[in-house]
Amino acid sequence: MTVPKSKRNKSRFEVFHNMQAVQKELILYLMDDFGITRNTNLGEAQFLDLKFQRVINLCSDIVGDLHRANDLFVTNMMEYGQRRLYQDKAIANCDVLKQELQSVIDVISGLNINKYKISIKLIDKELVLIKSWRKADIRLKKKLNE
């Protein structure tokens, strides 16, 4: 039995929902100066400014790649390849985002490392979700090849 369209619950695509949580979490850290508990010198402040921009840009790139991949309605192998490319870019950007956070932890002293555990777990979850989505698309590829 089908549910009338007006009474259907809106489905949340977990990949997007989780990425929004990652983005929100990181922006809160950015606004809190990455959890620094002491004043930094000028060099550290400039380094953090660069990292702030880099983290925000990476989050935006990931969200953009996910939206572009999801917006493709795959009807042929070329579109499938394009979708896969966007998914791969999102995965690569998630890895780079983790590396950027690690570089902040490595370079800046006085950070509260415990604050980063939540962000890293969310990024790892995002990686698993994107890879699962990509794996589910293999069924779509098989249908296209028939």
User: What tens digit of pLDDT does each residue of 32-87 get?
Assistant: 766 565 555 777 778 888 888 999 999 999 999 999 999 998 899 999 999 999 99
What residue has token string 């953009």?
Answer: 64
Contact 134, 87 (CB under 8 A): yes
Tell which CATH architecture fits domain 14-145: Up-down Bundle (1.20)
Q: Percent of the chain scored above 90 by pLDDT?
A: 45
Two structure tokens written together for 17: 């929902």
Identity of residue 12: R
What pTM did the predictor assign? 0.84
Cα separation, 16 vs 22, in Å, equals 10
Name the nearest CA neighbour of 134 among 74, 76, 75, 56.
Answer: 74
Cα separation, 110 vs 35, in Å, equals 8
